Amino acid sequence: RSRLTQEASTQFRYGLARRAGNDLEGAAYYLAAARRLDPAYAPAAKELASLHLTQSRWTDAQSELQAYLQLKPRDAVAHQEMARLQARLGQPEKARRHFEKALQLNPDDSLAHFQFAAFLAPRDPATAISRYRTGLRLQPDNRFAANDLAWLLATHPRKEIRNPAEALKIALRLDRESGGTVPNLLDTLAAAQAAAGDFEAAAATARKALSLPQTAQNKQLAEGLNSRLTHYLEGKPYRETEPAQ
């Protein structure tokens, strides 16, 4: 190892120690010093990016992640991190490329499929559905992803995207497995029942969700359920609004 790399490694260790002691300013100082000493020392770029993320310094984090990925282009987790960051920064095309690269490198990562699906849902719902299904084949017991898929299939404004039968099948399974006591899952079940044309069942399910103590503690969910219940009582399914492109 070169002398500069050894010195960068020393500064890196100082930075880790400062971060472990919650001295974030000191950690940033030593990590940046490591980066200056040896710009090719990848661990410092990765750790500095992580530090910036914890401090909500998004553009600084992006710069360090870009530097890290130039050094370690096959790090699938770093590509996921970059994708989420660029989505936050309003760079959807760049985000999509990094999600795709992460899955190219690690196609069996169910979480990467779910995160990509959530990103795609308002932009490319057909591909989002495919990603959810792939992820659920890898991790069939992930009820959060399954619920998101059922919601998308039940409430999307475009008919060609909706699949009420599949949504209802998923939502009924989740309700059964959870014991019928999870408000978010009941909300999705009600939407799926309404999408399938069973408004009486949808209203009963929405009322059940509203009766749960957890719902009363979540104002946004309670308001949404009440609004959707009005649709069901009028014999109307609930539809999400088409996202602006």
Interval 183-233: pLDDT, tens: 999 999 999 999 999 999 999 999 999 999 999 999 999 999 999 999 999
Query: Average pLDDT of 7-18?
Result: 96
Label residue 245 exposed, middle or buried (CB < 10 Å: 0-12, 13-18, 19+). Answer: exposed
pLDDT digits (tens, 9 = 90+) for 145-186: 999 999 999 999 999 999 999 999 999 999 999 999 999 999
- Residue 244 confidence class, pLDDT cut points 50, 70, 90: low
CB 181, CB 211: distance < 8 Å: no
Average pLDDT over the chain, rounded to an integer: 96
Q: What is the pLDDT of residue 1?
A: 57
If phi > 0 it is left, if psi is from -120 to 50 it is alpha, else beta; for residue 90 that is left
Q: What is the pLDDT of residue 4?
A: 83
User: Is the pLDDT reported for residue 74 higher than 70?
Assistant: yes
Q: What proportion of the chain, given as a percentage, has pLDDT over 90?
A: 96
Asked whether the whole model's pTM tops 0.75, one would answer yes
Label residue 240 exposed, middle or buried (CB < 10 Å: 0-12, 13-18, 19+). Answer: middle
CA 148 to chain centre: 11
- Residue 144 confidence class, pLDDT cut points 50, 70, 90: very high
Q: What is the pLDDT of residue 243?
A: 72
Measured CA angle at 156 (ends 155, 161), to 5 deg: 120
Q: What is the pLDDT of residue 5?
A: 87
Query: Average pLDDT of 14-19?
Result: 97
- Residue 242 confidence class, pLDDT cut points 50, 70, 90: confident
User: Is the pLDDT reported for residue 245 higher than 60?
Assistant: no
Q: What is the pLDDT of residue 235?
A: 98
Instruction: Output the CA–CA distances (angstroms, integers) from residue 221 to 41, 118, 154, 186, in the order listed.
Output: 47, 19, 17, 11
Q: What is the pLDDT of residue 83?
A: 98
| 3-state SS track over the chain | CCHHHHHHHHHHHHHHHHHHCCCHHHHHHHHHHHHHHCCCCHHHHHHHHHHHHHCCCHHHHHHHHHHHHHHCCCCHHHHHHHHHHHHHCCCHHHHHHHHHHHHHHCCCCHHHHHHHHHHHCCCCHHHHHHHHHHHHHHCCCCHHHHHHHHHHHHHCCCCCCCCHHHHHHHHHHHHHHHCCCCHHHHHHHHHHHHHCCCHHHHHHHHHHHHHCHHHHCCHHHHHHHHHHHHHHHCCCCCCCCCCCC
Q: What is the pLDDT of residue 227?
A: 97
Query: Average pLDDT of 18-40?
Result: 96
- Residues found in the chain: 245
- Residue 112 confidence class, pLDDT cut points 50, 70, 90: very high
